[in-house]
Structure formats: structure tokens, C-alpha cells
Structure 1
Amino acid sequence: MGTTQMLELIDDYVDHLRFVLGRSEATIRGYRSDLRAFAHSRPSLEAMSLEDCRDALGEAVEAGASRATLARRTAALKGFSAWLFAQGYLSSDVAARLQAPKVGKHLPKVLNEHTAAEVVHKELDEDASPAQQAEVLRDLAILELLYATGMRVAELVALDIADLDPATRIAKVTGKGNKQRMVPFGTQAAAALKAWLEHGRGHFAGNASGNALFLGVRGGRLNVRQVRRLVQAQGDRAGVEGLGPHALRHSAATHLLDHGADLRVVQELLGHSSLQTTQIYTHVSTQRLQEAFKQAHPRA
């Protein structure tokens, strides 16, 4: 079952909400939006499991979703799962035990520069097999690019080779609303990308079609979940529990401001439509300044 069929089932479920359960139009619009987003990233019923639902909510948490949004998305997934089970499309109600993640009112997780450097570092074992070395080269390129650009993980996995301009060190990124922006990256990310493209990618390409920048071991385009697992593993290694790709985005933005970048430049780099969204990072930088002052000043 592909995306089209999933979307048809969602439309049928929306009709159930409207004509059988009598839900409000506002609720129906929210549920339809949430379920269609889920279907685009997980386009088949085979990909609808409790783990997949939890992953989708986890991605929403990393993206800064509010408590209300998380509660609605949880309700949408639980209701859709129960309806699919009742209609015979699922053998069990996979989302019955799903609970909305707890999200406190706090500033985004930001790594200090030393920890960020540890997270984006992986050792290349010269005794490893060529395929294992290729995987390390790919992971290094992913980590460096995420931290260098602050791009969203979905934007990263959507990149094609042609979206990179090695000469100018610019990546053409397609963000929310299919809006494109040009994002620069530094020398370390450029070196990691060069190594991956010249010495790593060929080990995974095989008979794969397409020009995806980052490939999985079977030659297909790498997906969001695989990148999330990579970043979490790197966080665990660096002693940062529960690290996600969005934390690298937060860290990149904060470190740019710490070193004097203009707020509107950071807005453009991150692809924020509103400057107000970017301003949260000024609060993060102020908080870090206050912490440093308290630790270092004799009269703090």
C-alpha cells in the first residue's frame, strides 16, 4: 500500500469523524493535517506500528511542537489506528498504548562548542572493511553538514549531489512549503563531503538509481529515522542522553549568534519565515552568558 492509498484511507477516516462522530471542523482539519504528514513520511500501513507512531511524535518534540499540538497528534494517531483496526485494515490497534510525550516549557537543548565537536567526530578505523569505512565517511559528512548549516534533518536527507556546489561551499536546501534557500557550509564539512563522495558513496551506490547525496547500505536514499539514530548514538558516546538532530540545529544557531552573527542572517540560514521564531536563540545566548558570568565573576 502506497502513499495514495494511505491518503484515501485518511479521507475515509475524516468522513467518519465528520458524519459519524460529528467532530468539529477545526478538529477534523487538525487531524487530517497530522495524519497526512504521517503518511508522507511513512507511506504504508506496514510502516504503521507503535514504534513508528512514537518516532513521529519524537520528531515533533525535536521540532519544538507545543503540548497542544502533541496532544492533538497523539489523539489523531490513536483514533486513526482504532478505526483501521475496526475496519480490518490492521490486525491490531497498534497505537492503543500511545501516549503524548511530556514536554516542559524550556529553552531548546543546546550543546556547548566542545561537546558539539565531540558529537560530530567519528574515528575512521583503517583496519575496518571498505564498506565499514564508507559508512563512517557518510556519517561524518552527515554530522558535519547538520552542525555546519543548521538544516533540518528532513532537508538533509532530501539533498541530491547536484544541490551541492563544492567550489562556493553552498548547499541548495528545499525547506518547508517547498521553499528553496542557499546555505553555506565550512571547510570541515566540505572536506567530509568530499571524502564521502570520492571514497565512500560508491560502496553503497551499487545498482541504485537517482542522485541522492546520502545513501543507506542497500543503495537507497537515507531516511530521517536513520539519521536520528546516528545522532542519538553520537550523543550517547559524548555523554548527552536523548540527543536528536534538531539539537544540532539549535546548537548551530546559538553558536552563530555567540560569535556575532546577525539575527536576520541566522533566520535566513535556518529557513524561518518569521524572525520571531529565530529570536528564541537570543534568549539561549543570553542564558549562556548569564551562566558564564555566575561561574566566572568574583562578584556574581
Structure 2
Amino acid sequence: MSTIQAERPSQLGEAIEDFAEHQRLVRGRSEATVRSYRSDLLDLARNVRTFDELTLNALRTWLAAAVTEGKSRATLARRTASARAFTSWAVRAGYLESDVAARLASPKINRPLPDVLSDRQADHLVTEPAQSDDSPESVRDVAMLELLYASGMRVAELCGLDTTDVDLARRTTRVTGKGNKQRTVPFGESAAAAIREWIDHARPELDHGDGGSALFLGSRGGRINPRQVRRVVEKSAAASGAGHVSPHDLRHSAATHMLEGGADLRVVQELLGHSSLQTTQIYTHVSAQRLKDVFSRAHPRA
């Protein structure tokens, strides 16, 4: 009886695993980012098995095949980014003499402008839980919503906060963002009052010892998770009449309102934790579009 042996991993396949570990452990990439890199590159490795075969033409052929398969422009852009990250690492690791993906063109993606709440909608949304009851969960929800809107932080960053990260006297919090980069973010008196009420009076009622030093706790006492925060935002938005709103919509709204209030673009970049100013610049387009909308509604000669 013959034994079928498993196919031995290709040279490229083995290097991809090393690359994924480097991204996870050294660069501090999120698991979602590492999974995307690995999935894209293993798809490439189905036809390109060695570094000798990894050429600019081979990469273009791989992307052309994705077009034939009907892949979206967003998928093509992501695959291009994965290839560029991999070949850049491969040069530093000594696998390649030159960065073959450096000249790989990435398709332009027409990104829709993010949804932004009005000032009034945002105000109603963050205070809505206080209208229902005075339970520990409602006090917590107001504190979370106030902080999300005041700071523009990501929902995962909010969930990762510890009580020691918040300085109520200075009204600042230390936030750990993507790639484990830390930044200090200010917040206003409304958020400070809500957080103080949560820490002093409501948090002890939910603290069963499972949450450790977590700033925000779930109903069972452990550190709150992003899914729970999303439910809080969606429930508050629906109750306040704002429609469907996600935590990221609050982040978009915070950034847009800061720019409309006169904040410098680079300050907003720092507050949001964007590594590139180009990412932050989308909010200038949002502000301009909102100005046009107001003009068309309000000006008699519009």
C-alpha cells in the first residue's frame, strides 16, 4: 500500500510564515492584518514557489488573474499592499536583492465619505442612556459614549483602557493604538464628569474581580469587549433618533466637528492616531461637503 506524502511547503510558503510572525511579534500588527497578509501571500505562493520566480511580471500576472476572477478594486489594492510589505521585508531578510514590488501600481479606490452626525445628534446620542435609568450599566454607557465622542478613539482602544490610563485632573488619557503606539488624548469636562461618576459610584457595583484594572467593565464584571460597545452605540443611536450609528461613525463625527471648530489638521491626526496625514485629510472633504449642503439648504440664491 502506497503512502501519500504531504506536499512540502515551498520556499516562498516558508518565508511567508516567517514574515507573518515578524509582522505579529516585531511590528505589532493586529491579528486581522496578519491574517490578510498571510491569506494574500499564500494565494500568490500557489503559483510562485521560489524567490527566483518572484518577479515584477509574476506579481502583475497574479493581480491580473484576480481581475479575471472578478475581484474588487479594494481586494486588488489590499493584495498590492501585501506584496509590497512582503518584498520589502524579504530584501531586509536577505531573500531578495531588490524590492520587486516597489514599482507595483495599486488601483485607486473611490472611498465614500464617512457618515457624520450633526452636533445635536451627537449630543442626544451620548446622553441618551442617562434618560432611561440610573443603573451601573447606564452610567457606564454614558461615560463610554462621552469618551468615544470626545476623543475620537477607536472602539478597541476604548476597550483596552485601564483605570491608570485616565488622568481626570488633567482630563487626558493614554491610548494604545495600532502597532502598540501610545498617544495622549485630551477630553472635555462632560466626559470627565461622566467617567468620574462611573469610577466612583457605578464601577464598584460591577467589579467582581474579573476585570482587573480595566476602565470599563461588562455586566458580568470582566473587561468590556468591542461587540458590547457597538451594541451600546447602536442602541443609543436608535433611541435618540440618529438611526444606525457605529462607534467608527462617532470617531468620524469627532474628527469632522474638531476641524469645523478650527482644529489644525495635524492636531486631529495626532488625536486620532493616524500614521499618515493623508488618512486624516478625508475629513477636510467631509467638512467641505457639509458646508455645501448647508449652503444649498439655507442660501436663497443657492
The alignment's TM-score, normalised by the length of structure 2, stands at 0.66
Cα 1:226–1:39 shift into 2, 3 Å? farther
Q: CA deviation at 1:121?
A: 1.3
Q: CA deviation at 1:110?
A: 0.6
After superposition, the CA RMSD in angstroms is 3.5
Alignment partner of 1:287 is 2:289: yes
Alignment partner of 1:240 is 2:242: yes
Please say which of residues 208-217 and 282-291 is displaced more in the overlay. Answer: 208-217
Write out per-residue CA displacement over residues 12-69 of structure 1, whole angstroms, 9 at most, x where no aligned residue.
xxx98965xx98988x979x989972599xxxxxxxxxxxxxxxxxxxxxxxxx8328
Query: Counterpart amino acid of 1:270?
Result: L
Cα 1:36–1:279 shift into 2, 3 Å? closer
- Distance (whole Å) between structure 2 residues aligned to residue 16 and residue 242 of structure 1: 49
Query: Counterpart amino acid of 1:68?
Result: T
Cα 1:110–1:17 shift into 2, 3 Å? farther
Cα 1:16–1:235 shift into 2, 3 Å? farther
- Distance (whole Å) between structure 1 residues aligned to residue 244 and residue 217 of structure 2: 24
Residue number in structure 2 paired with 1:11: none
Residue number in structure 1 paired with 2:74: 67
* Counterpart contact for 2:129–2:236, Cα < 8 Å: no
- Distance (whole Å) between structure 2 residues aligned to residue 243 and residue 70 of structure 1: 27
The alignment's TM-score, normalised by the length of structure 1, stands at 0.66
Write out per-residue CA displacement over residues 92-146 of structure 1, whole angstroms, 9 at most, x where no aligned residue.
xxxxxxxxxxx984101111111111111125479x6xxx610000000000000
SS at match of 2:216: coil
- Distance (whole Å) between structure 1 residues aligned to residue 263 and residue 284 of structure 2: 11
Cα 1:125–1:285 shift into 2, 3 Å? closer
SS at match of 1:219: coil
Alignment partner of 1:167 is 2:161: no
Cα 1:124–1:278 shift into 2, 3 Å? closer
- Distance (whole Å) between structure 2 residues aligned to residue 235 and residue 16 of structure 1: 53
- Distance (whole Å) between structure 1 residues aligned to residue 143 and residue 116 of structure 2: 21
Alignment partner of 1:115 is 2:121: yes
- Distance (whole Å) between structure 2 residues aligned to residue 71 and residue 248 of structure 1: 26
How many corresponding residue pairs? Answer: 227
Q: CA deviation at 1:214?
A: 0.2
- Gaps of at least 5 residues in structure 1 are 1-14, 41-65, 73-102
- Distance (whole Å) between structure 1 residues aligned to residue 14 and residue 157 of structure 2: 34
Q: CA deviation at 1:197?
A: 0.4
Cα 1:203–1:16 shift into 2, 3 Å? farther
Residue number in structure 1 paired with 2:31: 37
Write out per-residue CA displacement over residues 252-279 of structure 1, whole angstroms, 9 at most, x where no aligned residue.
0000001101101101100111111100
Residue number in structure 1 paired with 2:272: 270
Residue number in structure 2 paired with 1:227: 229
Counterpart among 145, 156, 159 of residue 157 in structure 1: 159
Cα 1:155–1:286 shift into 2, 3 Å? same
SS at match of 2:236: helix
Residue number in structure 2 paired with 1:208: 210
Cα 1:17–1:201 shift into 2, 3 Å? farther
- Gaps of at least 5 residues in structure 2 are 1-5, 35-72, 80-108
> Identity across aligned pairs (percent)?
51
- Distance (whole Å) between structure 2 residues aligned to residue 283 and residue 266 of structure 1: 14
Please say which of residues 112-121 and 201-210 is displaced more in the overlay. Answer: 201-210
Please say which of residues 239-248 and 159-168 is displaced more in the overlay. Answer: 239-248
Q: CA deviation at 1:217?
A: 1.4
Query: Counterpart amino acid of 2:125?
Result: V
Query: Counterpart amino acid of 1:282?
Result: T
Counterpart among 172, 187, 200 of residue 185 in structure 1: 187
Q: CA deviation at 1:208?
A: 2.5
- Distance (whole Å) between structure 2 residues aligned to residue 268 and residue 156 of structure 1: 16
* Counterpart contact for 2:237–2:245, Cα < 8 Å: yes
In the TM superposition, structure 1's runs of 4+ consecutive aligned residues that sit over 6 Å from their partners are 22-26, 32-36, 69-72
SS at match of 1:195: helix
Cα 1:254–1:118 shift into 2, 3 Å? same
Residue number in structure 2 paired with 1:134: 136
Structure number with bigger Rg: 2
Residue number in structure 1 paired with 2:46: none
* Counterpart contact for 2:210–2:223, Cα < 8 Å: no
